[in-house]
Every structure is written in C-alpha cells, then in structure tokens.
C-alpha cells in the first residue's frame, strides 16, 4: 500500500523564526502519514537539523549539477543541506519563470541523480477546465515532465488546479477523483501496474483543516500539497491529523 504524505509548500514565506512551527508539526508526524515541509531555500539546512520526524524539501532545483547559473541551486546542494525531496514544475514556476515540460523533465532527472524524490506538479488553468481540456492538459504535462525511470520511491505527483491555488476555490470531490484516477491510469500505462500503483498522488489547492477530510476520502488521493495552510502548525496539524485518520 502507498503511505500517505502531508506536504507543505511554504513558497516565498518565512524567515528563521518560522522554523518554530516545526516542533508541533513534528509531534503530529508520528502517525501513518509522512510529513514533508518545503521551506524557502534559505531555511532548508536549519530546518533539516530542527525537524525531527519531518522531512524537508526544496521548492525547485536547476537541471545541471553545477556551473555559472547565478541565483540557482543544484539538486545536490539541496541534498547536502538535508533535503530529501524537491518540488518541481509548480505552476508558479511554470508561469513566473516560463518553465516548460522539457525544463521540468530535465530538473527531475537532476533531482533523481542527486537522490532526491521529485514532487512533480501538474494542473490546468480555469480557461482550460472551462474548455473541457483538463485531462488533455494533465496527460501532456505528465508525458512531458516525467522522465523514464519513475518509481514509487523517486516520484510523487501533485495535482494542483491553478484556479484553486490560493483562491479558496476547491474542485468538487468528483472532479478531484476524475483527475486522480486519470493520473493513476496514465502512470500505470507508462510505467507498468506495479510502479503506477506505487506512486503517490497528492491534491493541492486551498486545502484547509475544514475540507481536508473530504478530500482525503477521494480514491487515489494519497495526501496533499498545502500552501497557505502549511505555514502555521495550528492549520497544518489538523490536516496531518485528518490524513492520519483517513489511513485507519
């Protein structure tokens, strides 16, 4: 069986004082669900020493192992700082930095070379959903962004509809289920049933304590990638608890 994963993406939020939140999150982390926090890169090393029981990840890495790329961070540097995971292809990076599926695929290879688990994001815009192109878009992103060689140990897929991120709008549970079932089928078709079934698929976009339990009850939802509600333990711990409860 796939284990559950509660992942927090702090985005560009948090200075060292924010690491005080990790203590309560770590206490909630002893249950069935694994807990991952992806703080800004400046906090990865310190978070990794403080967060007993919470895994730490980066939010992006460069496709190359080293070189003249001012401001960028190599996957191996994240690993060296104590990260076990890296978020790749988040819609904010695809939009703000023009990252293509090809770019994300190259970054994913770099992450794997460094021994990091890639948390690979996909998701449609509102216009794409309204044009009923959601599954085509997701299928294209998966095919283009995931390199050959995926396993349940090196890949987590996060479905994050762009229109649900930071908006308080959440798809219906049927809409979430349709996309997660589709992602599962595509993973099984490309990588074989065993691998396809072992990759965890997270939902992300306005997950909160109030809606977590119903989202976690949807088939093929193995956890969440949480933005705003992962910044404070008072919000994130109830989400971890809901995921633990869904595993019982």
Which residues sit at the interface with ligand 13P, rule CB under 6 A?
9, 90, 160, 165-166, 204-207, 225-229
Question: Considering 34, 92, 124, 160, which one is annotated as catalytic?
Answer: 160
Q: Which two tokens stand for residue 92?
A: 């904010």
Is the Cβ–Cβ distance between 229 and 235 less than 8 Å?
yes
Q: Which is nearer to ligand 13P, 191 or 216 (CB)?
A: 216
Minimum CB separation of residue 101 from ligand 13P in Å reads 18
Q: What is the CA radius of gyration of the chain?
A: 17
Q: Which is nearer to ligand 13P, 81 or 170 (CB)?
A: 170
Minimum CB separation of residue 163 from ligand 13P in Å reads 10
Query: What burial class does residue 199 get, using C-beta atoms within 10 Å of its C-beta: 0-12 exposed, 13-18 middle, 19+ buried?
Result: buried
Long-range contacts (CB closer than 8 Å, 24 or more residues apart) made by 233-238: 233/21, 233/22, 233/23, 233/24, 233/25, 233/28, 235/208, 235/209, 236/6, 236/8, 236/21, 236/25, 236/28, 237/24, 237/25, 237/27, 237/28, 238/209, 238/212
Q: Which is nearer to ligand 13P, 38 or 76 (CB)?
A: 38
Q: Which is nearer to ligand 13P, 49 or 167 (CB)?
A: 167
Minimum CB separation of residue 98 from ligand 13P in Å reads 18
Q: Which is nearer to ligand 13P, 196 or 204 (CB)?
A: 204
Is the Cβ–Cβ distance between 89 and 120 less than 8 Å?
yes
Helix ranges (DSSP H) in the chain: 22-28, 44-50, 75-81, 91-96, 101-113, 126-130, 134-145, 173-191, 193-198, 209-216, 233-246
Active site residue 153: no
The C-alpha angle 29, 83, 107, rounded to 5 degrees, equals 125
Minimum CB separation of residue 231 from ligand 13P in Å reads 9
- Using Cβ positions, the residue closest to ligand 13P within the complex turns out to be 227
Minimum CB separation of residue 247 from ligand 13P in Å reads 21
Question: Considering 90, 92, 99, 180, which one is annotated as catalytic?
Answer: 90
Is the Cβ–Cβ distance between 69 and 103 less than 8 Å?
no
Cite the active site residues: 90, 160
């Amino acid at each position: 069986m796939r284990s559950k994963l509660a992942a927090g993406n702090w985005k560009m939020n948090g200075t060292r004082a924010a690491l005080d939140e990790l203590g309560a999150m770590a206490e909630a982390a002893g249950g069935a669900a694994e807990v991952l926090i992806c703080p800004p890169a400046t906090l990865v090393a310190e978070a990794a020493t403080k967060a007993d029981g919470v895994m730490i990840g980066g939010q992006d890495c460069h496709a190359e192992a080293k070189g003249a790329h001012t401001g960028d961070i190599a996957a191996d540097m994240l690993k060296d700082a104590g990260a076990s995971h890296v978020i790749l292809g988040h819609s904010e990076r695809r939009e703000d930095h023009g990252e293509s599926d090809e770019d994300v695929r190259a970054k994913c290879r770099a992450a794997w070379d460094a021994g990091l688990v890639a948390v690979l994001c996909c998701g449609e815009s509102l216009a794409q959903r309204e044009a009923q192109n959601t599954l085509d878009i997701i299928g294209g992103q998966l095919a283009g962004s995931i390199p050959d060689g995926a396993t349940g140990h090196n890949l987590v897929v996060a479905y994050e509809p762009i229109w649900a991120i930071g908006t308080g709008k959440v798809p219906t549970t049927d809409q979430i289920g349709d996309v997660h079932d589709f992602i599962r089928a595509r993973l099984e078709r490309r990588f074989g049933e065993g691998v396809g079934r072992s990759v965890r698929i997270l939902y992300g976009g306005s997950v909160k304590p109030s809606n977590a339990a119903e989202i976690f009850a949807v088939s093929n939802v193995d956890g969440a990638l949480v933005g705003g509600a992962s910044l404070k333990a008072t919000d994130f711990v109830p989400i971890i608890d809901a995921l633990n409860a869904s595993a019982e």
